Amino acid sequence: MADANGLVEAMKRAARDERESSKPVNVYFGEVVSKSPLKINVEQKMVLGEPQLVLTRNVTDYMTTVTIQWDTEIGVLSPDGKTTAPPPHLHDIVGQKNFLMHNALEVGDEVILIRQQEGQKFIVIDRIGGKP
């Protein structure tokens, strides 16, 4: 009887593994519980650390170059909101500028993760609700 139980359990495991392998992706939700080192609590079941996480550009600080062309109006405002000396004048700003995008995860951010199939890596796709 013990062999029969073992066989049944092996068949259940094989069926479960087959179902899991046919899923193209597993999506999880988590919350950042530590920024340095980065730790994400996934669905209140497990805490993932930096070695297990792959971060996309959506959840990291990064430099980017933008092309800009605008005029700025410079003046000093008085307490009542009226422009005072020096009189307003225009500064023409044209060209490419480098900007640091502050997009890194913060404690409390809720995130969407995808688990690498049959792996221990989780890709952090984005935060839920966007960053203010």
Tens of pLDDT, residues 88-130: 555 567 788 899 999 999 999 999 999 987 678 999 999 998 6
* CATH class for the domain made up of 27-61+102-132: mainly beta
pLDDT of residue 59: 96
pLDDT of residue 31: 96
**Region for 43 from its dihedrals, namely left if φ exceeds 0, alpha if ψ lies in -120 to 50, beta otherwise:** left
Domain assignments of the chain as residue spans, ordered by start: 27-61+102-132, 63-101
CB contact at 8 A, 62 and 101: yes
**Model-level pTM greater than 0.85?**
no
pLDDT at 53 over 90: yes
Express as a percent the part of the chain with pLDDT over 70. Answer: 72
